[in-house]
Structure 1
Amino acid sequence: MLVLAAQRQIDFPTFLFANVGDDSEHPATLAYVREVAMAYARQHGIEIHEIQRRRRDGSIETLWERLHQPQLRSIPIPVRMANGAPGRRSCTSDFKIKVVARWLREHGATAHRPAVLGIGISLDEIHRANKRRSDPYEQIEYPLLDLGLRRDDCAQIISAAGLPVPPKSACFFCPYKTVDAWREQRRDEPELFAKSVQLEAVLNEKRAMLGRDAAYLTRYGTPLNNAIQVMAPSSSETLDSGCDSGWCMT
């Protein structure tokens, strides 16, 4: 959408990146936004604002910090139960949607003068589009759907503009990660994998103290360090369709 806006094919002069935390977002996403997207936007007179969730005292709260709060009782990420099913989550709502909504209201969006909010869902993921979920002060649009663009089309548009195609955006510890993605993290990013293992252990310590069953970052019902082994990619693994928001690169 940034390239399309620069080419004046869509009319979106302002872009928002809701950063859930430098300790939570994948480093590759942060690098792309700050080193590639922001520079490209400046060249074409487009604004990009990096925004984050703030507490009442004005300090920044990150998702990683919330997950490590001693008093945590409800896990905000979709950890997997023993049967492999994902639990409820509030991370997208609290650290993406509400953060964007607050920025819109602070910059003049009202029910009488709603902000037009474009979300980058492509035809491959049309089931994720739902305009009924918009709030009174926003009018949600799906520019990629209007143009009939698929994920491959988007990659070609980005490449044709001379930009590298961005990596898939998500927290590095997201339970919606595919098994192959976990294997790649263990092989190529051992420090991030070790932090994911540590997070899972911390969450289960809290659940044990509350008398609750263990939960996991994969569907295998066993600790991450045991569940993920480095091996050849599986041809059956595809992008996980569990994430239904379309907000992760927002």
Structure 2
Amino acid sequence: MEELHVISLGAGVQSTTMLLMAAHGEIEPKPKYAIFADTGWEPKRVYEHLEWLAEEAGRYGIEVIRVSNGNIRDDMHRAVEEGTRFASLPFFLPFFLGNGEIHNPRNEGKAWRQCTAEYKLVPVQREIRRLAGYKGTPRKKIATVWIGISWDEMMRAKPSKVKWLENRHPLLEKNMDRFNCMRWLQNKSYPIPPKSSCIGCPFHDNVMWLDMKRNYPEEWEEAVEFDRAVRHLPRFKKKPYLHRSCKPLDEVNLGEDQGELDLFINECEGYCGV
């Protein structure tokens, strides 16, 4: 039986480049499938890009499959209103000094991140089992998963946590960073994909939040409302926030230099932000 190769498609710059390079025969063997795990709360422009990409990939015999394990925004609101179970995002949790000032050194106070596993890993792995003809958990390797981690984020590359899947990182094999990916797309006259991440992801930096506020006001209002709602979640002893300053999102001075690093590096599975 031919080995199953599957692309984990985030629909961002790196995974889009990886898919299209495979389509053009620049990475082999060409996978038959690319799986996009939909959290239900990506920006509209990401879904528009995904539709275009599915059509383009289909021209080369690669099927883009969209799977889901629920809507992350709706599930969180349901947890607030009904006390149901929820998969935690990496919310910021404040530390208070004696004078009442909020102190969060180096962003160390973060909630446990469960969202990637629940909304990305689980549905992708479930679909791979289906494609390989397995209903239960396989006892041996059944597929190789291509993950779009580029050279500038190589610290995110990790082996698979399940023995029946093998992770492959083709962009690392090609020594390609994000800039190389964008240059490849431009040389092929392909559009540059938008950043792929949930609208209310705590990993956004000030540049992304400010861009959302200025250019995508509906998304900004959704994020502000979501940020207010999460303060009413059960489980947390300290009130969670979407912004690393531990302030309500609509009260943050987004022009301030927060000494920010790219927190998507902390998403080490490589299923988000690529």
**TM-score normalized with structure 2 length:** 0.79
Which residue matches 2:26? 9
Q: Deviation per CA, 1:154-185, whole angstroms, max 9, x where unpaired?
A: 11111222210111210011000001111111
2:72, 2:119 within 8 Å by CA — same for their partners in 1? yes
Which residue matches 2:73? 64
Q: Deviation per CA, 1:211-240, whole angstroms, max 9, x where unpaired?
A: 8321111111211110144x5x96965643
Which residue matches 1:90? 114
Distance across 2 between alignment mates of 1:198 and 1:235: 23
Distance across 2 between alignment mates of 1:163 and 1:211: 44
For residues 221 and 237 of structure 1, do their structure 2 counterparts lie closer, same or farther at Cα, with a shift above 3 Å needed? closer
Given the alignment of the two structures, is residue 107 of structure 1 paired with residue 131 of structure 2, yes or no? yes
Distance across 1 between alignment mates of 2:253 and 2:144: 42
Greater shift in the superposed pair: 116-125 or 3-12: 3-12
1:182, 1:228 within 8 Å by CA — same for their partners in 2? no
Any gaps of 5 or more consecutive residues in structure 2? 1-17, 95-103
Given the alignment of the two structures, is residue 142 of structure 1 paired with residue 169 of structure 2, yes or no? yes
Which residue matches 1:246? 270
Given the alignment of the two structures, is residue 130 of structure 1 paired with residue 124 of structure 2, yes or no? no
Question: How many equivalent residue pairs?
Answer: 235
1:183, 1:228 within 8 Å by CA — same for their partners in 2? no
Any gaps of 5 or more consecutive residues in structure 1? 54-60
**For the aligned residues, what is the CA RMSD?**
2.2
Partner of residue 223 from structure 1, selected from 241, 248, 253: 248
Given the alignment of the two structures, is residue 41 of structure 1 paired with residue 50 of structure 2, yes or no? no
Distance across 1 between alignment mates of 2:158 and 2:168: 10
Which residue matches 2:12? none
Q: Percent identity?
A: 25
Distance across 1 between alignment mates of 2:233 and 2:161: 35
Distance across 1 between alignment mates of 2:169 and 2:32: 15
1:120, 1:246 within 8 Å by CA — same for their partners in 2? yes
Distance across 1 between alignment mates of 2:202 and 2:196: 13
**TM-score normalized with structure 1 length:** 0.86
